[in-house]
Amino acid sequence: MRNRLENFPWGKQTYIMGIINVTPDSFSGDGLLKQKNTAGMVLEQARRFKAAGAHILDIGAESTRPGAEPVGQEEELERLLPAIKALATEDLGIPISLDTYKAPVADAGLKAGVDWINDIWGLKADPRMAGIVHKYEVPVILMHN
Protein backbone atom coordinates (compact mmCIF):
# COMPACT_ATOMS: atom_id res chain seq x y z
CA MET A 1 0.00 0.00 0.00
CA ARG A 2 1.04 3.53 -0.57
CA ASN A 3 2.46 5.60 2.31
CA ARG A 4 -0.57 7.88 2.70
CA LEU A 5 -2.79 4.81 3.13
CA GLU A 6 -0.70 2.92 5.70
CA ASN A 7 -2.33 4.64 8.64
CA PHE A 8 -5.66 5.48 7.03
CA PRO A 9 -8.23 4.22 9.57
CA TRP A 10 -10.83 2.49 7.35
CA GLY A 11 -14.25 2.16 8.93
CA LYS A 12 -13.55 4.40 11.93
CA GLN A 13 -15.45 7.49 10.81
CA THR A 14 -17.09 9.27 7.90
CA TYR A 15 -14.51 10.80 5.58
CA ILE A 16 -14.68 14.07 3.69
CA MET A 17 -13.43 14.04 0.11
CA GLY A 18 -12.32 17.30 -1.50
CA ILE A 19 -13.06 17.21 -5.23
CA ILE A 20 -10.51 18.83 -7.53
CA ASN A 21 -11.80 19.32 -11.06
CA VAL A 22 -9.12 19.78 -13.71
CA THR A 23 -11.76 20.54 -16.33
CA PRO A 24 -13.18 23.65 -17.96
CA ASP A 25 -16.77 22.54 -17.25
CA SER A 26 -17.32 20.98 -13.82
CA PHE A 27 -20.65 20.56 -12.00
CA SER A 28 -19.61 23.10 -9.38
CA GLY A 29 -18.12 25.64 -11.76
CA ASP A 30 -14.67 25.35 -10.21
CA GLY A 31 -12.98 23.67 -13.17
CA LEU A 32 -9.34 24.58 -12.63
CA LEU A 33 -8.31 23.99 -16.23
CA LYS A 34 -9.41 27.56 -17.00
CA GLN A 35 -6.56 28.87 -14.85
CA LYS A 36 -3.14 29.79 -16.27
CA ASN A 37 -1.18 27.92 -13.58
CA THR A 38 -3.33 24.80 -13.28
CA ALA A 39 -0.90 22.82 -11.09
CA GLY A 40 -0.49 25.80 -8.75
CA MET A 41 -4.25 26.26 -8.52
CA VAL A 42 -4.67 22.56 -7.79
CA LEU A 43 -2.20 22.86 -4.92
CA GLU A 44 -4.00 25.90 -3.54
CA GLN A 45 -7.34 24.10 -3.73
CA ALA A 46 -5.85 21.00 -2.08
CA ARG A 47 -4.40 23.08 0.78
CA ARG A 48 -7.77 24.77 1.30
CA PHE A 49 -9.54 21.41 1.37
CA LYS A 50 -7.07 20.00 3.89
CA ALA A 51 -7.37 23.11 6.09
CA ALA A 52 -11.17 22.75 5.95
CA GLY A 53 -10.93 19.15 7.17
CA ALA A 54 -10.84 17.00 4.02
CA HIS A 55 -9.44 13.52 4.58
CA ILE A 56 -9.09 12.63 0.89
CA LEU A 57 -8.37 14.56 -2.30
CA ASP A 58 -10.13 13.32 -5.44
CA ILE A 59 -8.81 14.62 -8.75
CA GLY A 60 -10.47 14.22 -12.11
CA ALA A 61 -10.06 15.65 -15.60
CA GLU A 62 -13.25 14.62 -17.36
CA SER A 63 -16.54 16.24 -16.46
CA THR A 64 -19.39 13.89 -15.59
CA ARG A 65 -22.06 16.57 -15.72
CA PRO A 66 -25.05 15.76 -17.94
CA GLY A 67 -24.30 16.61 -21.55
CA ALA A 68 -20.52 16.83 -21.05
CA GLU A 69 -18.40 15.81 -24.01
CA PRO A 70 -16.17 12.76 -23.42
CA VAL A 71 -12.46 13.49 -23.12
CA GLY A 72 -9.91 11.34 -24.90
CA GLN A 73 -7.22 9.53 -22.96
CA GLU A 74 -4.39 11.79 -24.15
CA GLU A 75 -6.24 14.98 -23.25
CA GLU A 76 -7.18 13.55 -19.86
CA LEU A 77 -3.52 12.72 -19.19
CA GLU A 78 -2.36 16.19 -20.32
CA ARG A 79 -4.79 17.74 -17.85
CA LEU A 80 -4.04 15.38 -14.97
CA LEU A 81 -0.36 14.54 -14.85
CA PRO A 82 1.05 17.97 -13.97
CA ALA A 83 -1.57 18.33 -11.23
CA ILE A 84 -0.99 14.83 -9.83
CA LYS A 85 2.77 15.33 -9.82
CA ALA A 86 2.36 18.65 -8.01
CA LEU A 87 0.11 17.03 -5.37
CA ALA A 88 2.43 14.04 -4.94
CA THR A 89 5.48 16.30 -4.60
CA GLU A 90 3.72 18.54 -2.08
CA ASP A 91 2.47 15.47 -0.17
CA LEU A 92 -0.14 16.97 2.08
CA GLY A 93 -0.29 13.71 4.02
CA ILE A 94 -3.76 12.68 2.85
CA PRO A 95 -4.69 10.13 0.18
CA ILE A 96 -5.09 11.18 -3.44
CA SER A 97 -7.92 9.51 -5.34
CA LEU A 98 -8.01 9.54 -9.15
CA ASP A 99 -11.44 9.83 -10.78
CA THR A 100 -11.12 7.98 -14.10
CA TYR A 101 -12.60 4.98 -15.87
CA LYS A 102 -9.75 4.56 -18.36
CA ALA A 103 -7.09 1.96 -17.50
CA PRO A 104 -4.16 3.77 -19.18
CA VAL A 105 -5.04 6.95 -17.28
CA ALA A 106 -5.26 5.02 -14.03
CA ASP A 107 -1.90 3.37 -14.75
CA ALA A 108 -0.20 6.72 -15.43
CA GLY A 109 -1.86 8.33 -12.40
CA LEU A 110 -0.76 5.54 -10.08
CA LYS A 111 2.79 5.83 -11.42
CA ALA A 112 2.64 9.60 -10.82
CA GLY A 113 1.56 9.25 -7.20
CA VAL A 114 -2.19 8.74 -6.68
CA ASP A 115 -3.22 6.30 -3.97
CA TRP A 116 -6.36 4.76 -5.36
CA ILE A 117 -8.85 4.82 -8.23
CA ASN A 118 -12.40 6.17 -8.20
CA ASP A 119 -14.17 4.57 -11.20
CA ILE A 120 -17.63 6.01 -11.90
CA TRP A 121 -18.38 3.09 -14.23
CA GLY A 122 -17.69 0.41 -11.60
CA LEU A 123 -14.92 -1.26 -13.67
CA LYS A 124 -17.34 -1.78 -16.58
CA ALA A 125 -16.18 0.90 -19.05
CA ASP A 126 -12.65 -0.44 -19.51
CA PRO A 127 -12.11 -4.19 -19.03
CA ARG A 128 -8.41 -3.54 -18.26
CA MET A 129 -9.15 -1.39 -15.19
CA ALA A 130 -9.44 -4.28 -12.70
CA GLY A 131 -6.02 -5.51 -13.84
CA ILE A 132 -4.46 -2.08 -13.23
CA VAL A 133 -5.94 -1.86 -9.73
CA HIS A 134 -4.70 -5.39 -9.02
CA LYS A 135 -1.24 -4.67 -10.46
CA TYR A 136 -0.72 -1.77 -8.04
CA GLU A 137 -2.64 -3.40 -5.17
CA VAL A 138 -4.58 -0.20 -4.47
CA PRO A 139 -8.14 0.37 -3.29
CA VAL A 140 -10.80 1.16 -5.85
CA ILE A 141 -14.02 3.06 -5.32
CA LEU A 142 -16.73 1.51 -7.49
CA MET A 143 -19.52 3.83 -8.46
CA HIS A 144 -22.59 3.26 -10.62
CA ASN A 145 -23.31 5.48 -13.58
User: What distance in Å separates the CA atoms of residue 113 and residue 20, rounded to the nearest whole number?
Assistant: 15
Give the pLDDT confidence score for residue 28 in this predicted structure: 53
User: Is residue 7 domain-resident?
Assistant: no
Domain count, the chain: 1
DSSP, collapsed to helix, strand or coil, labels residue 113 as coil
Q: Which domain holds residue 100?
A: 15-142
pLDDT tens-place string over residues 96-127: 999 999 999 999 999 999 999 999 999 999 99
Q: Residue 58: which CATH number?
A: 3.20.20.20
Are 101 and 61 in contact, with CB atoms under 8 Å apart? no
Q: Is residue 10 part of a domain?
A: no
Interval 3-38: pLDDT, tens: 677 777 788 889 999 999 888 765 554 555 555 678
Is residue 137 one of the residues assigned to a domain?
A: yes
Please indicate, yes or no, if residue 1 is contained in any of the structural domains. Answer: no
